[in-house]
Amino acid sequence: MKVKKFRSTSGLDIWVGMDDATNDQLTFKESHGNDLWFHVHGFPGSHVILRCGETEVEADKQSIKEAAQLAAYFSKMRNAKKVAVHYCRVFDVKKPRGAKPGSVVIQKFKKMLVQPQLILDELR
């Protein structure tokens, strides 16, 4: 599975899928329903998971911003000044029947504008 792993400044894990098949695996098999899911709005990009659901830790604003920045960075909008990123609980991400890998529909999402940045070091 092609996943990049990061840790937010407050210690939450952030996982980034690097291709369509891994995006599906990450979103629907590796994440918890209460984890937060991020994706840049309207353009191809990685599914990003902020891991907090299994531990029931409430995601802090800084971790949410960092995960959104990673979603923007690992998308076709990497070089934009500001990017709209949608996020929601993984529970609110659905895969339509017959949809191609990486394609999803989301419900009950929030939106934030962020600058695409790779400000966290990848975990090894």
Type of residue at 87: Y
Domain that holds residue 105: 3-114
Whether 15 shows a pLDDT value over 90: the answer reads yes
pLDDT of residue 56: 77
CA distance 22 to 36: 17
pLDDT of residue 96: 87
Nearest alpha carbon to residue 82 among 111, 50, 48, 47: 111
3-state secondary structure of 36: strand
**Average pLDDT value for residue range 66-70:** 97
CA-CA-CA-CA torsion sign (119, 57, 82, 70)? positive
Task: Judge whether 121 lies within some domain.
Answer: no
CA distance 98 to 79: 32
81 or 101, which is more confident?
A: 81
Structural domain count of the chain: 1
73 or 102, which is more confident?
A: 73
CA distance 8 to 50: 9
Task: Judge whether 122 lies within some domain.
Answer: no
Task: Judge whether 107 lies within some domain.
Answer: yes
- pLDDT over 90, % of the chain: 77
**Average pLDDT value for residue range 62-82:** 96
Task: Judge whether 34 lies within some domain.
Answer: yes
Task: Judge whether 87 lies within some domain.
Answer: yes
Whether 46 shows a pLDDT value over 80: the answer reads yes
Task: Judge whether 95 lies within some domain.
Answer: yes
CB 112 within 8 A of CB 87: yes
Task: Judge whether 123 lies within some domain.
Answer: no
The HSE-up count of residue 11 (CA atoms within 13 Å, CB side) is 3
